[in-house]
Amino acid sequence: MSSFIRRHRRKLIWGGAAVGGLVIAARIVERQMIKSREEEGRLALEKVRKQNHFESTESTCNSTLAHILHQLKLQILLEYQTNTLTDTLRRGPSGDEKVRIWEQIKMISFCRTSAYIISFSFIGVLLRVQLNVLAGHLFTTRVSVSSLLNNNRF
């Protein structure tokens, strides 16, 4: 056995070095694959968190907007009432008076429609922007705090 080792000493050294190098390379590749899997998992979790946060913000915005727009519609109807004018028309006024009342009804109807369109669009945009800015700020604050708390591996 000792003569075999002496005769093949260089082959054994180079073979051992090659096998050792392959073992070290395999461990390095394994570590890199584990790191890349953890990074992909972290990115996927972050994406799910962002999507969930965005969806909850949109849900909150839609429910708030529905309630606000209903209240705004009631206020516009209260402000631009045509009940008195239609009651006057039902009583049968003269021709000139009838034309004047119809002109007032047209003006009130136009104002009501304009108020609906303008106020609904402005309030919708304003509410969405404000809630999304606030939700974005809360998300970044929450993420930075949670990343500081979970940053215990190096």
What are the extents of the domains in the chain? 47-149
In one letter, which amino acid is 139?
A: F
Residue pLDDT tens, the chain, 154 long = 778 777 778 888 899 899 999 999 999 999 999 999 999 999 999 899 889 988 999 999 999 999 999 999 999 999 999 889 889 888 888 888 999 999 999 999 999 999 999 999 999 999 999 999 998 888 888 765 555 455 555 4
Give long-range contacts, CB 8 A cutoff, 24+ apart: 131-135.
131/57, 131/60, 131/61, 131/64, 132/57, 132/61, 135/53, 135/54, 135/57
- 12-29 tens-digit pLDDT: 889 989 999 999 999 999
What are the CB-based long-range contacts (under 8 Å, 24+) for 147-151?
none
Task: Give the three-state DSSP class for 37.
Answer: helix
pLDDT, one tens digit per residue, over 129-149 is 999 999 888 888 876 555 545
Tokens 């909150």 belong to which residue? Answer: 60
